[in-house]
Each structure stands twice: as structure tokens, then as C-alpha cells.
Chain A
């Protein structure tokens, strides 16, 4: 081949036979694993060493290595493997890896995909991300330091996201003179901890990543160790396809294939078990029964499809099965529910807000979900449970979640595809959380909705009016309360029945236990929303005057009400004007830093994007604004309010 080979390059190539050859593809399976440990434990070195020994490194990559080579104590040339693995330029400057990177190499029997994630505490989110697709974890320990806080943290996270195969790689054995007693003590120490968090078995291996001892070849300096090399252990570990081959069939419908008028198939990836033509299946959540007709692929119909295969199924009878539905063996139908207890890992810099609606995405199924109850937070360092009102970035907690619809599910320990999900922020579309279902809550089954004889329509008819929720939103000092007051007076004069919920007044009673953090603001609005709904059901025209700064919560309240009932009124006043008015002197306090989380100053106000009404307080008086609102609200029949300004 063309190319110049320098003597330095030749020297950098692996000298001894590393015990690895690249086989032909037909016999290889695929194992994905994650390495956990910090830069100091030699994690990047270990990965670099594995790539090097398995000949996955190429000359141009090796030449980067040469620049970083250095002499060890015993005079051996040691290559700077870590430099290979640390990726992006900004990170190279900082000298750390800060994200998830994927590496590839081949063993005799397997192809390996390594997720490399950093060991620094603030990057729990990256580790959970890397671990979620891994079949196995290599937990790295510095032999000089033993089981550290971070070892416990990594092991806990690995177990949390469902990894059941753990290799404990005890590195830098050269720095403890290859002593077996050191190894044994660490193994005993780790075993006690592992048992306490539910890790049943693990494979401990003493290694020297820098020199390649027990990586692909056995280490002559540790004759007391008779276990496998790291590579041998990786080659022998279970992969998901090995596990529970007899599990009942499950597949989520990912895409409906309508190739022609005569062809309607359901495409998806088999999540558990296997399926054959002729098998009876039940679709969830509809519960419809049908029979598998064909398993269609471009290479011809299959006699059977098993876990992990991406296929297209057709049914003998035309039945409704759309994206997100789950096709399950008829004998073992999948459960459905809308409330769950879950483990939640929070991945956004914006903290979790209980009661805020998020999007839940489980494969092809999307629902609106709110965390209704944060039971406790787990300190990943001590594994202690702590009471908490919110989860910050990298926070882990156990909580209840409530969905706006019933979904088919399994527990996470039974199936990762149908027992886990991501949470997405509706406004930013960021993926903010990773959830794992423990079990469904039965609460909804026990609390039945009492049907009432006097209906909401009867209440409204008696008052001869259309119930409405006039939701005033705007900055502090924009004039919400003033205008709402005027509107209510006018409604009373017109013989209408109304009730005004004022922000300050509610704080004295209904919400007096709440503060002004984002989480508390969300809860405050939820309560006001629920009360408004009850009052509207009673036939009243409800007026509310709350800053209600977040779009997501106003949207949440809108969805609580009947169609057309919610009237969002944006009282529009520029911040400078509101601040200049400063009726209550609050802006001054906020500017002096004596009032925290003040909307417009150090807490955001998200203006409505499509309110039913906008009143501009700079161009009209409160009196005129009230006139406009009353005229608009009383003139509009239900449904006509869509004529937004």
C-alpha cells in the first residue's frame, strides 16, 4: 500500500502477538459494553490498550500515539493511549472526555462496541446514556485506592439502568507490586457492596492497562491469578439474545406499512420472545385479538422472528393497530396503566418540576405525563434516600408519574424497550429525563369518578350564561388585578355570576404552604386551575389574575377545561413600564436582590404565543380594556373565540 512508514511508527505497532485475530463475520456476535471509572483510574488508557492489542488502531492513529509516548519507571516505552481516546478539541484542551464516545474492536468471536463515558460526578447523565444501550459494564478500580465513592456510584447507576453483567477491572496492579492480597481485599470489599445494591455476580480481573497485563494476554507477573483475561471475559459474557429465549412475544408497532391497497403490515423491532405465522396475538391497549399471517422481509417471508429482529407483520384479519400499540402473545397479554412508580434520572440543567406536563416517549408511543409525587431522591454517593421537592441535573429519584392516557408497559426489569422511556420538555424539545417503570399504581382503579345528577350544563343553564375561565396573565404590575376587578364589576352589573381568584389572595390560603421557586409556582397554578375548573363546572365565569409566567402551565390549565372555555388574556405591558409603576414596590426590592425569583428580573416570563385576547395597557386605560374584554366575552358564542386577535 502507498504511504510512508517511519521507524517510529514501526516501533509503535504492537510487537507481540496480542492473542487476537479478526475472524470472518459469519461467526461473530455483537456485545456492547461500557467502561466506568475516572481519568485517574486509567480508563482511557484501558480503552486505548484494548484497541491497540486488538489491532483496531491504524498507522495514522498510532502516529498520534508516538507524540505522547513516555518512559516508565522500568525504562519501558509506554504509549499515551489516553490521547487517542479523548475526542473533541475543546475536551482535549481540558484534558478530559466529557461526553459519550463509542469505539469499536473485534475479538475472536465477537465484535465489541465500547461506550466511553467520563467518571466525573457532574456527568451522571452521560454515563446513564452510555449504559442504557450496554449489555455489560467494566467497572475500573485503581488498585492503590480500592473501592471509592465513585466506584459505588458507577455500580449503582449501571445496575439502575439494567446491566446485569459486571466485570471489576482492578488496574495499576504494578503499583501495588502485583500483590494478590491487595486484589483479594478489594474484591471482598466490592462483593459486600455489590450484594447490598442487588448486583448478584461480577467477574474481578487484576490488570495493568498501560502494559497490557491480563487485557488480551495473561500476565506472567501475576501467576496467582487463574481467571480470564479481560478480553476472554468479554468474549464469554451473556448477551441479551441469550437471555429468556422463552419469554412471551412482545413487539411495539413502530410504523404502519401501507404498501398498496392490498398490503397493510405493521413494522417494528421484536422486544421479547419470538413469533411465528399462525400465532394468536392481542393488540394493546385495544385488546383486539388476531392471528399472525406473515412475517414479511425483503429477503422473503420468515418462519420465525425473535428478539432484536426488525420485521413487518401482517394479520389474518384487518384490525386496527397503529404506531405505539403493542402486539403481544395472546396467552400473555401485556398490562396497561396510566400511573406508575418509576426510577427517574434527571438530565437537564432546568430542574424537574413536579406537576409540570412533560412529553413521555416510549419507542413509538408519546403521551403527556406529570410527576405527581417525588417520593425521595437518592444521593448517588451515599445511596441515602433524601426528601426532595425537585430533581436537579444528574439527580436520581423515585416518583409517581401520571399519564394522560393508558399505555401498554412492562416493568423495566422485565423488558427495557417497554419498561423505560424518556421525558421531553414541551417547550425546548430537550430530552430532560430517563424513566424506568417499577410497577403500575392501582390508585385509579380504586378512586372512581362519582357521577353527579346535577350536571355542569344544568348549573350553567340555571345562571343563563356560558361558563368561562378568563385567565389574565402578565408581569407583576401590568394591571391584571385592576382590569380583572373592573371586568367582574361590569359582569355583576349585567347580571352575570362570576368569581375572581386573585394571585395575592390565593397565597393567603389555598397556596400558603408554597413559595416562589419554579416548582412551587407550577403547583400554585395547578391548584388554581383545579379550583377554576370546579367553579366553571358550577356554572360561573371565573376570572384569575396570576402572573403565571410559564407557557407549559397555562397550557396545562387550558387542557383541564372544556373546549373553548379557557380564555387566555395577555395583559401586555413592557417590563420598563411595569417596573416604573411598581405599585407594590416589589421591583425595587428585586433589583436590590432582596426578592429572589422575581418574574422579569431573575425569573423568566414566557409571553403567550396565541392568546384569545391581548390588551395593551400602554394604548388603553384599564376601563377601556375591561370594556373590550366584556364585550368580546359576552358577544362570542362558544367556538367563535377562535377568532384570535
Chain B
């Protein structure tokens, strides 16, 4: 794949479009300030602004690659201080085992405080992705998140969402205002100008803040490679037990996975582009077994990463609706 990329680049250089005299030939980025540096600086600026303005900020930590990048940026933003906010994992009890292992390792590192919240009602009712469909996401994630934010009185919560993921996110502000019911109103967003962010809210209201708004999936992978950030091994291809359901490749991660009569898990070499609850997260067949290969594969990706997520495909505007109800 890398060979192909070089080949294509050479061809394009030969067919370089004509340039006018009045436009300067660009050098490489001046001062070594590359696009990843610009994105990093912007994210750090956003995080510092929240910590300076909010009474009780928190960082949503979902253990995925975006959370890993966000945590890494937060450490940079406040170095040499300890993180001035806790991490919050809104647990559904259905994440991949490898995700729980990494979460516990991060918590053990000692430089972060981790809060784990599980919706007690969902726990009592035994809500699960096999029996309860959309209710699973609604109770564990949306309701669980609201409960945790209310219980601890967090008035600003960092999330790792990016604008390239989904159409409604493309329009959301970096500082996203939520009313006392955690609802988002796309028609009443505060204008965001220059680098002046307003985090002012009344009692009971809150902000969701997205420091990775302007990053793309490729940026995230390139940054993970450049910075050597630890992410779950699930992102890298390996032989894993899988079944195909509704055109999705699902991994049989533990004994709770309900196989249909006669259904057997097949070992396939797969990896994941996003991580969520394992029975709801589609894998892709891939041989990209390390970060460099994942970056190369992302360069040529033909599908968007969230395609592997059941939550988005309920209907066309499902993410927008979930966000209005308080989902991240």
C-alpha cells in the first residue's frame, strides 16, 4: 500500500497544475509548524480555556483512540501540573475486555483520577444490546452520562467527538451549550469567533466541549503514530473470533455473546476503526497490524469510520436526535 501511494504521488507531480505568477510557491510548513502542531495547539488552548472558566470540569473517557489522544493533549496542556479534572468513564458493562484492561492501566498510572459510572437502573433491569436494542444505548450511555454529570455537578465535560465523523457534528460548536436537561438546540448555538470562547452558563446548565472538533480520523491516527500514544490492541489487525450479523462483522469477545443455533464463531483477521459496546461495533477485515499500517490503510479508506456503529444507522438523522436528547 505504501508503494502504491508513492507511485501515485510521482504521477501527480508530473501533471502539476499550472501556477500563476502572482502566487508564491509554498515551502514546507514554516518554522516546522505542521498541521498536527496547529491542531495540537488549538486543542490545548481550548482545554486551558475550560479549566480557567469552568467550576467543575470533567473529561469523558471512553477508552477509544480519540479519548487516548484527548488525554495525551490534556497532559500536555497542563504539564507539569497534575490533570486539573477527573476522567469519567460512563460504563455500559458491554465494552471489549481489552478496553477495560487499558482503562484500569490508565487509572493505575497515578496521574489521573478516574470516575466510573454505571446507570444503576440499567444494571438492575439487566439492559443489554441483545434484548433491548436502542434502549441499551439510551439507558446506559445517554441516561448514564446525564446521571453522572448531575451527581458530581460537572459544569463542563470534554468529549472526543470530531466534526468529520457525522453531519450533525460538523455543525456543532466547540463549546456546545446544554440546558438544564442536557439538551442541545442546533438552532440556538452561540457564535464562536476567533479564539474567544464563552463558557458562561447559569446554574444547572452545562457545556460539552470538543477539543478535537477540527481533527479528522487520519489526523488522529497520524498523531497517535507521531506521539506514540497507547491505544487498545483492538485497533490493530489480529485473528479474532467473529460472526456476521446484519452485514456487520462482530467479535465474540466473551461468553455473553448469544450465538444463534448452529452459528459458530469464525477466526478472521480483523481490526476496529472505532470502539464501543462489543456486540454493537463492527470490525473490518484488515491486515494492518501496527500503527504505520493503520495510517496507510486510513489514507485509502473507502468507508467512514462510524459505519461500524449500530447507533448511527437507525435512521438518517439519528445522531442529531440523540444529541438533542443529551447524548454526546
Contacts and interface: CB of A to CB of B under 8 A. Distances in A.
Given A2-B249, A104-B163, A310 B77 contact: yes
Interface stretch (B7-15, B60-68, B122-130, B138-146): B7-15
A440 interface: no
Q: Which 4 A-B pairs have the closest CB atoms?
A: A89-B317, A29-B29, A30-B35, A298-B79
B201 A100 contact: no
Contacts of B8: 17, 21
Contact of B34 (A26, A238, A267): A26
Interface in A169-224: 201, 203, 216-218
29 contacts: A1-B302, A2-B249, A2-B284, A19-B15, A22-B299, A23-B9, A28-B29, A30-B35, A58-B302, A87-B171, A101-B163, A101-B171, A104-B216, A108-B12, A111-B219, A128-B193, A227-B20, A228-B18, A233-B23, A241-B29, A259-B80, A259-B81, A269-B44, A298-B79, A308-B33, A310-B44, A362-B196, A421-B196, A429-B201
Interface string A102-135: 1110101111010000000000011011001100
B33 to A, nearest CB: 5
Interface string B1-38: 00001001101100101111011111011110111111
What range describes how many residues of A lie at the interface? 35 or more
B97 interface: no
B163 A58 contact: no
A101 B285 CA distance: 32
Given A61-B304, A87-B168, A236-B26, A269 B20 contact: no
B148 interface: no
Which of B52, B191, B307: most chain A Cβ within 10 A?
A: B191
Interface stretch (A146-154, A250-258, A489-497, A505-513): A250-258
Interface string A577-611: 00000000000000000000000000000000000
B170 A101 contact: yes
Contact of B37 (A238, A268, A309, A422): A309
A133 B194 contact: yes
A245 interface: yes
A202 to B, nearest CB: 10
B191 A434 contact: yes
A429 B170 contact: no
B76 interface: yes
Interface in B40-70: 40-42, 44-45, 48-49, 51-52
A548 interface: no
A417 interface: yes
A424 B200 contact: yes
B186 A99 contact: yes
A257 B78 contact: yes
A232 B19 contact: yes
B213 interface: yes
A420 B29 contact: no
Nearest to A231: B17
A254 B194 contact: no
Nearest to A348: B191
A216 B303 CA distance: 22
A88 B81 contact: no
B29 A361 contact: no
Contacts of A299: 76
A254 B201 contact: no
B246 to A, nearest CB: 12
A306 B30 CA distance: 11
Contacts of A429: 198, 200-202
B20 A203 contact: yes
A259 B218 CA distance: 33
A393 to B, nearest CB: 11
B75 interface: yes
Nearest to B221: A25
A363 interface: yes
Given A89-B316, A89-B317, A128-B191, 12 more contacts: A1-B303, A58-B301, A101-B163, A102-B171, A104-B214, A111-B216, A203-B20, A233-B20, A267-B48, A308-B37, A364-B49, A421-B196
Which of B30, B187, B196: most chain A Cβ within 10 A?
A: B196
Contact of B190 (A87, A90, A269, A430): A430
Contact of B320 (A61, A89, A232): A89
A352 to B, nearest CB: 15
A504 to B, nearest CB: 35
A311 to B, nearest CB: 9
B170 A132 contact: no
A1 B286 CA distance: 6
A25 B304 CA distance: 20
Contacts of B24: 236, 238
A381 interface: no
Contact of A113 (B26, B41, B52, B214): B214
B302 A109 contact: no
Contacts of B191: 125-126, 128-129, 347, 422, 431, 434
Given A111-B35, A218-B18, A232-B17, A254 B48 contact: yes
B189 interface: yes
Given A1-B285, A241-B29, A132 B193 contact: yes
A242 interface: yes
B164 interface: yes
A60 B304 contact: yes
Nearest to B29: A29
A58 to B, nearest CB: 4
A312 interface: yes
Given A29-B34, A236-B24, A298-B76, A129 B192 contact: yes
Contacts of A242: 30
B41 A20 contact: no
A60 B34 CA distance: 30
Nearest to B166: A87
Contact of A236 (B25, B29, B299): B25
A268 B82 CA distance: 17
Contacts of A216: 17
B183 to A, nearest CB: 15
